[in-house]
Amino acid sequence: MERKRIVSGIRSTGDLHIGHYLGVLKNWVELQKEYQCFYFIADWHALTSEYRDPSIIRKSAKDMVMVWLSVGIDPAQSVIFRQSDVKAHAELFLLLSMITPLSWLERNPTYKEMKEELKEKDLSTFGFLGYPVLQAADIVLYHADKVPIGEDQLPHLELTREIARRFNFIYGEGILKEPKEILTEAARVLGIDGRKMSKSYGNALFIYETGETLKQKVMNMLTDVKRMRKRDPGEPMDCNLYPLHEYFTPEEMRAEIRTGCRSAGLGCVECKQILLTNLIREFEPIWKKIDYYNEHAGIVDEILEEGARRAIKESDQTMEKVRAAMKLAD
């Protein structure tokens, strides 16, 4: 029996951080066991907000793929590609735009929020308004059964379903598949300054850091602000660093850390050192692989070429049906 399908993408607008690792990538790796996965770099989506200075998009696309491969996304199992290499995404975006009512796009909460958040960028463009239509094209091209996404993307998936339904209603039942979500929980980790971890806040721990910068960042992390001196007891639940232990430190050691913090027996410096050791244990093998791919960048190009080939083959089949349904072909 054919495995059910997953489609998911990440915009290539910069480096991947530990939040992505915990919240997105580890999940993607797991999903490969059960599903046929299509994972892609959404570089056209990146362009909707970065069109003024697009230089980052291409570079970070390749860096991201190196990270994907190094954490265990397997090109032998999954189709790994760059959106802009598969022109059918653009064609289907155009065709779906014909049937998508403007009001659906204008009421989209993610659209309103992003415009508000990224005030420094002029996002009053046709491309940005159409963002979810392109996303719908990404998904229905491969007849995805499921799409792993964070909560912020739910409105986009709902729009995808609405667009697919409208397409099928107008042109014929069963042509496009309505996907379901796999809601992935965002990692509960904060940046080094205690705010949400984000590249744009400059507070992120990246997946690919040198040991030295990682050390500096961890050692400078804000902890429980009420704990001014080592002899003051602290509260792990009020500490910005402790949530990272939840992901990287085994439970027996965490129990000791909690007791030590609350009794002022364990200082923040020692606590940070424990975390650093555990982070390095987790990421060192990944760093080694990333270094390998950096030195053998040709391998990454080949993987992307092969991925594009497989994606084109799949998406062409869908496009034939779509063109025929819309009377663009016989």
Report whether 127 contacts 44 (CB < 8 A). Answer: no
Cβ closest to ligand TRP, residue 45 vs residue 245: 45
Residue 303: name the closest of 41, 21, 20 by CA. Answer: 41
What number of other Cβ atoms are within 10 A of residue 263's Cβ? 10
x/- letters, 45..74, toward ligand TRP (CB under 6 A): x-----------------------------
Q: How far apart are CA 265 and CA 219, in angstroms?
A: 18
Interface residues for ligand TRP in 114-173 (CB under 6 A)?
A: 135, 138-139, 147, 149, 153, 156
42 interacts with ligand TRP by CB under 6 A:
yes
DSSP 121: S
Smaller CB distance to ligand TRP: residue 11 or 82? Answer: 11
Residue 193: C-alpha distances to residues 111, 116, 205 (Å): 28, 23, 11
Based on the shown chain and the rule CB under 6 A, indicate whether residue 79 belongs to the binding site for ligand TRP.
no
CB of 300 to ligand TRP, least distance (A): 20
Nearer to ligand TRP, 60 or 135 (CB): 135
Closer by beta carbon to ligand TRP, 176 or else 268: 176
Binding-site size for ligand TRP (CB under 6 A) equals 13
Nearest distance, CB of residue 102 and ligand TRP, angstroms: 20
How far is 325 from 122, CA to CA, in rounded Å? 36
Phi-psi domain of 16 (left: phi exceeds 0; alpha: psi -120 through 50; beta: other): beta
Cα 101 from chain centroid? 28
Between 16 and 149, name the residue whose CB sits nearer to ligand TRP.
149
Kindly list the residues in this chain that would bind ligand TRP in the complex (CB under 6 A). Answer: 7-9, 11, 42, 45, 135, 138-139, 147, 149, 153, 156
